[in-house]
Amino acid sequence: MKLNLKRPLAFFDLEATGINVGVDRIVEIAILKAMPDGSELVTTKRINPEIPIPLASSLIHGIYDEDIKNEPTFGQVAKEIAKFIGDADLAGYNSNKFDIPMLLEEFLRAGVDLDMQGRRFVDVQNIFHQMEQRTLKAAYKFYCNEEIINAHSAEADIRATYHVLLAQLDRYKDKDFEDKQGNISQPVQNDIDALHNFTNMSKPVDFAGRMVYNENGEEVINFGKHKGKIVEQVFDIEPSYYAWMKQGDFPLYTKKKLDEIWNRWSKKKDEQRLAKQQSQNAKSNPPVNNNKPKPVQQKQKPAAVVTNDMLEQLKMKFGK
């Protein structure tokens, strides 16, 4: 099918250092410009974000600091990208929430004002989510081909959820799944451990997702200015971040897990200080060597017996 276009439609996708539009930076941009005559123009550019790429992000898109260290910055190619887009409308997947805001942020940092007036925006994800709704009611209809009776009553909903899982196990038995790294597996199995692993792919520490586990099982900040950094390393460089989170509007369970990490970190610091202090004390107060050989004491000769002749000689010497 050919798109019915009055002007070009630029499909674009971004890979970035993270998902915080105000902080993170683009590391790759690809644009497919569909033209009204049916032809296509494509450009792809790697970008040096001028900030480190968190390992958690690199593991998703496969772009590491080493890969982009010699690439141009966005500021150096901003005008070229804007010219390629031209007056095209914009399209993408989740583009309204992520790609367009991040692209505009980068253009503004580079001093390039991409005129958005009159453009149309097509977010393919929104078509998908609205036409294939992700509600329990829609899932029950899709998997079980039935309507929920008394929808939104607690018992009806949990029974529907139970039957949806049973139908999913049957539907996806032996079905291949390819993750973002291209790994193929059959994750939907009639096994609770397997289902747990598949439905908790983000590995949250606190369920709210403010902290997640990295591939080494270390707790990592998952938001804000320290996103992608190991929590204990954040405490090393900014201990006050703990107090800020404790005083902030975070869930109680998030604060509970934060306390566990803080206490573990504090214990390590105390042990390191004690070890350092013991080392310094050992240097300033070397141990006394109790095994030194004792000096040999010479035996004193017994005193000579004083005679009358000796007394006479003394009198003559001292005149007494």
Spell out the domains of the chain, with CATH numbers in brackets.
9-129 (3.30.420.10), 133-201 (no CATH), 202-278 (no CATH)
Q: What is the pLDDT of residue 241?
A: 96
Q: What is the pLDDT of residue 2?
A: 82
Q: What is the pLDDT of residue 11?
A: 95
pLDDT higher than threshold 80 for residue 297: no
Q: What letter would DSSP give residue 98?
A: I
What long-range pairs does 286-292 form, CB within 8 A, spacing at least 24? none
**pLDDT tier, 128 (very low <50, low <70, confident <90, very high otherwise):** confident
- Answer with the residue of higher pLDDT: 303 or 243: 243
Q: What is the pLDDT of residue 280?
A: 85
pLDDT higher than threshold 60 for residue 70: yes
Cβ pair 183, 226 in contact under 8 A: no
pLDDT higher than threshold 90 for residue 8: yes
Find tokens 């190619």 and name the residue. 77
Strands (E), the chain: 9-16, 26-34, 40-46, 89-92, 121-123, 177-178, 184-185, 211-213, 219-221
**pLDDT tier, 305 (very low <50, low <70, confident <90, very high otherwise):** low
What CA–CA distances, in Å, run from 29 to 25, 32, 45, 106?
11, 10, 5, 12
Q: How far is Cα 290 from Cα 304, in angstroms, rounded to an integer?
A: 38
pLDDT one-digit tens code per residue, 183-227: 899 999 999 888 888 887 678 888 788 999 988 999 999 998 999
Cβ pair 38, 1 in contact under 8 A: no
pLDDT one-digit tens code per residue, 256-294: 999 999 999 999 999 999 998 888 888 777 666 666 666
Q: How far is Cα 166 from Cα 171, in angstroms, rounded to an integer?
A: 9
Q: What is the pLDDT of residue 314?
A: 62
Q: What is the pLDDT of residue 86?
A: 95
Of 230, 218, 206, which is closest to residue 54 (Cα–Cα)? 230
Go through 33-46 and write b for each residue having 16 or more CB atoms within 10 A of its CB, e for each that does not.
Answer: bbeeeeeeeebebb
**pLDDT tier, 17 (very low <50, low <70, confident <90, very high otherwise):** very high
pLDDT one-digit tens code per residue, 133-165: 888 999 999 999 999 888 777 888 888 989 999
Q: What's the predicted TM-score (pTM) here? A: 0.58
Q: How far is Cα 159 from Cα 286, in angstroms, rounded to an integer?
A: 74
% of the chain with per-residue pLDDT over 70:
88
**pLDDT tier, 173 (very low <50, low <70, confident <90, very high otherwise):** very high
Of 44, 40, 111, 115, which is closest to residue 81 (Cα–Cα)? 44
Q: How far is Cα 153 from Cα 255, in angstroms, rounded to an integer?
A: 32
Q: What are phi and psi of 44, to 5 degrees?
A: -135, 135
Q: How far is Cα 298 from Cα 190, in angstroms, rounded to an integer?
A: 93
Q: What is the pLDDT of residue 292?
A: 61
pLDDT higher than threshold 90 for residue 182: no
**pLDDT tier, 308 (very low <50, low <70, confident <90, very high otherwise):** low
